[in-house]
Structure formats: structure tokens, C-alpha cells
Structure 1
Amino acid sequence: MSDITTNNNLVQIYTKQQAADDSRTHILSNFNGVLSTVMRDTLDLEGYPFGSVVPFCLNQNNEIVVLISDLAQHTKNINENPKVSLTLHNIDQDNIQKGWRLTIAGNAELAKEEDVPFLADRYERYFPESRDYHEVHDFNFYIIKPKKGRYINGFGEIHWVDFDKIVQPSIFDAETENDMMTHMNEDHMEALILFLQTRFNVSKPDKVRMTQIDQYGFAIAHDERIERFTFEQEAKNPTDIRVFLVDMVKKVRAAA
């Protein structure tokens, strides 16, 4: 791996490809962040950045989906200026300066009416408590279409990365993904619990469910907690998914 000399003469061996790979891991494994918008002309704060915490998931294109109220300040800001950013960081790091940070910059737009049923179904898999929110007249789905990511892995390990280098759209359409998840949730619940138990004690097995699957891995929810699991290589088709899952189960059982 070759060294990179930055404009301020810092020698960096942490490559842009590594930053893209690490960014992919974190954008796929986190489900809340700080949404920053530009303040509208109000309270003598026009143009100032405004941050608020929001839950989110990704759609089939791996764009960011948020469900926000028309009454919220960030929504009012977006409706006047769609330029936003979403910041994720390692909340478990004692010294936050030594942990990873990822900021995704992009444009937010109101979801198309014809896409709302799909988005509602997808979002509710992650956040069941939101089931009634989108039916309330002042809550709507917005899509953040990412442009670039700024990833910091630690001191001097920093890169701007185009979002299409971070993550590609899912290779599975909604129907195929839903079929795979339904199969796992109805016929292989023991495998889902087995995966979760590699990380924590599963106290509510009746509230375990697979919420998403793509070429990179899958997510499993346990009540309000969501865990992401990553494949060792990218899948190319549903057959790969089956092979990868069977192999993962074998490895977990062998390690037990």
C-alpha cells in the first residue's frame, strides 16, 4: 500500500478506498444520526446550521430515508433549502476525537406519493413504533440523496469520498428482498437468534425479525435494537445469500 502525501505534507497510509469501505460499514450499521439543515429566515438565525437527532433507514437505492414532521424546524428548513448533512459517530468511544466519524452531505426532498407505501413498509420494519406516524397529516417521508461523505478514522486519517464509491444500490428488488426476509423470519428464526446471541443475550425472542438484506449483509432487529451483520464477500444473487447464511450459521455453531 503506497503512502499519500496531503497538501499540508502529512504522510497518510490510510487510503480513500479504506475510507469508502469503512464508511459503507457505518452507514449500513447505524440507524440514527445528527441531521444538519440550514436555518430559514426566522429568529434572526437565517443561514446558521441547525442540528437535530433523527432515526433513519436506507431505501433500495441506499439513499437515506427520514420520517419528519412538518412542524419540526428541520423540515421547515429543508423546504426552503434542501442542502443537508447527516453525521454519524462512534458513541461508544471514551475519547470522541479518537473514534470514527462520518458526515454525508446531500439534498433532501419530499418522497413521491407513489413511493410512500413502500417507504412506510420499509421504515416500519426498523421502527415499528412509527407505524401510525406517516398516517398523521403532519408527518412525511423525505429522501436524502447523498453526494459525498467525509470520513475520519482518527488523527490524520481523513478522506472525502463520493457516495457511489461508498455504497451501491441493492441488487435485489423489493419483492425479492421481502421474499428472502419472510423466509428467514418464518422458517429460520433460530438462525436469527443464533446470530444475535453472538453479540448479546436475546431476552425477547418473540420480537426478533430480519429487517433488511442486500448484497453486503443483513440487519436483524430485537425489540428496538437493530444489529447489522456483514457478509465476507458481496452477494451476486439470492443463491449466494442462502450459501452465505448457511456458512455463517455453521461458523457460529462451531465457535460455540
Structure 2
Amino acid sequence: MNQTHTEKKIKPVAPKVQELINSSKSIILATVDAEGNPNSSYAPFVQVEQTFYILVSFMAKHTKNLADGRKTSIMFIEDESATKQIYARERLTIEATTSQIDRDSEVWNTVVAKLKENHGKVVDVISEMGDFILIALQPVKGSYVNGFGSAYFVDANLEIVEHRNDVNHQSK
């Protein structure tokens, strides 16, 4: 049975987006270097309000890309062992701006304490290493998908703003 146009307009509530974030300990990163070459990686994170923070080393390729403020995309995705349909994994993809947090700031102290709380004592060690920096990832816009035909635009506050595609997939 086909969904009606009205049924398709029903939007999932923003808490569903937050549940996906809360079920994740790390984010997938997509960055580009000065020549436009892509790099994908991941980093453990914490969220403070709508900003995500990662503590990353300059030994990693993505850190220079992030520190230089180049275009960045982050993704949260349902664990593939838990998904019912591999082609329709729940996911949140966000375009984000980046900024480096000063070591002597209150934000650094607050976020590093939260990273330690979430990810353990290793944070005490790496936060003292000179090559590790704290990066803030501020959402700009993105999309949330929670199944076939269920894709939505999200805003900078991670709120769902509209259905992404009101047109069904086309057959060959």
C-alpha cells in the first residue's frame, strides 16, 4: 500500500536526532586539505549544547584540515550490527564550521573534563600532549535519515525543518 502525501509529511521529532547522537561515542569526519583532497576519519566527541568537541592530534591528517577551518562534514550512523536494513541505516550528516579552543580557556577546561567523564582517564594523558588540540564543530545544516523515504533537512540547532524528498524514487 502506498503512503499518502499527508503521511509522508509527518516529521520525526528532534529527540530522535538526539537519541542517535547519544548512542554514539565517536563521530565520522570528512575533511579536505589545501589541495581539495578528501580525508575521512573519526574522533571521540562530546556535545555541549549544539556544539561538538573533539580532542585530536596533529599527527592525524584530519587535524590540520580542521585547524585550518576548511569545509567539514560529520556523521553519526546507526551501528550496522543493529540495523534492520543496511541500505537504510539511521544517520545524521552535518556540515559544520570549525574553531580551535584555547588551552587556557574555561571552555577547554569544561570540555576536557566532560571528555574524561565520557571517555576515561586517557583524556588526562592526551590533553597534556602538545600535539593535541581541542576543536569545536558548530553545525550549519544537515540531513537526518531514518529509513527509506524518511529523509529530512536539519538546521543548525539540529531541529528537523522539512522532508528532504517529496518525490518517490524513480524506476528504470
2:40 corresponds to 1:51: yes
Find the residue that maps to 2:65 and give its secondary structure: helix
2:115 corresponds to 1:126: no
Q: Which amino acid aligns with 2:139?
A: P
2:147 corresponds to 1:154: yes
Query: Residue deviations 1:40-71, cap 9 Å, x none?
Result: 2xxxxx21321102111112x33101000122
Contact 2:46 2:53 survives alignment (8 Å): yes
Contact 1:98 1:155 survives alignment (8 Å): yes
Query: Who wins on radius of gyration, i.e. which is larger?
Result: 1
Contact 2:91 2:144 survives alignment (8 Å): yes
CA distance in 1: counterparts of 2:142 and 2:127, whole angstroms: 29
Find the residue that maps to 1:22 and give its secondary structure: helix
What residue in structure 2 maps to residue 175 of structure 1? Answer: none
Query: Residue deviations 1:80-104, cap 9 Å, x none?
Result: 3432111111112263212211112
Segments ≥4 residues shifted beyond 2 Å? 11-14, 79-83
Structure 2: unaligned runs, 5 residues or longer: 161-172
2:77 corresponds to 1:89: yes
Find the residue that maps to 2:50 and give its secondary structure: coil
Contact 1:85 1:104 survives alignment (8 Å): yes
Find the residue that maps to 1:146 and give its secondary structure: strand
CA distance in 2: counterparts of 1:99 and 1:64, whole angstroms: 22
Query: Residue deviations 1:225-251, cap 9 Å, x none?
Result: xxxxxxxxxxxxxxxxxxxxxxxxxxx
Structure 1: unaligned runs, 5 residues or longer: 5-10, 41-45, 168-256
Q: Determine what percentage of the aligned residue pairs are the same residue.
A: 26
Find the residue that maps to 2:157 and give its secondary structure: helix
Equivalences for 1:7-156 in 2 at 5 Å? 12-15=8-11, 18=12, 20-40=14-34, 46-59=35-48, 61-91=49-79, 92-93=82-83, 95-112=85-102, 113-114=104-105, 115-128=107-120, 129-156=122-149
Find the residue that maps to 2:146 and give its secondary structure: strand
CA distance in 2: counterparts of 1:48 and 1:79, whole angstroms: 16
TM-score scaled by length of structure 2 = 0.78
CA distance in 2: counterparts of 1:165 and 1:137, whole angstroms: 33
Please tell me the root mean square deviation across aligned C-alpha atoms, in Å.
2.2
Find the residue that maps to 1:124 and give its secondary structure: helix
Seen in structure 2, the aligned counterparts of structure 1 residues 32 and 165 have a Cα distance that, compared at 3 Å, is closer
Structure 1 or 2: more strand by fraction: 2
**Which protein has greater RCO, CA pairs closer than 8 Å, 6+ apart?**
2
TM-fit CA distance, 1:33: 2.0
Find the residue that maps to 1:151 and give its secondary structure: strand
TM-score scaled by length of structure 1 = 0.54
Seen in structure 2, the aligned counterparts of structure 1 residues 50 and 133 have a Cα distance that, compared at 3 Å, is same
Q: Which amino acid aligns with 2:111?
A: L
Find the residue that maps to 2:59 and give its secondary structure: coil
Structure 1 or 2: more helix by fraction: 1
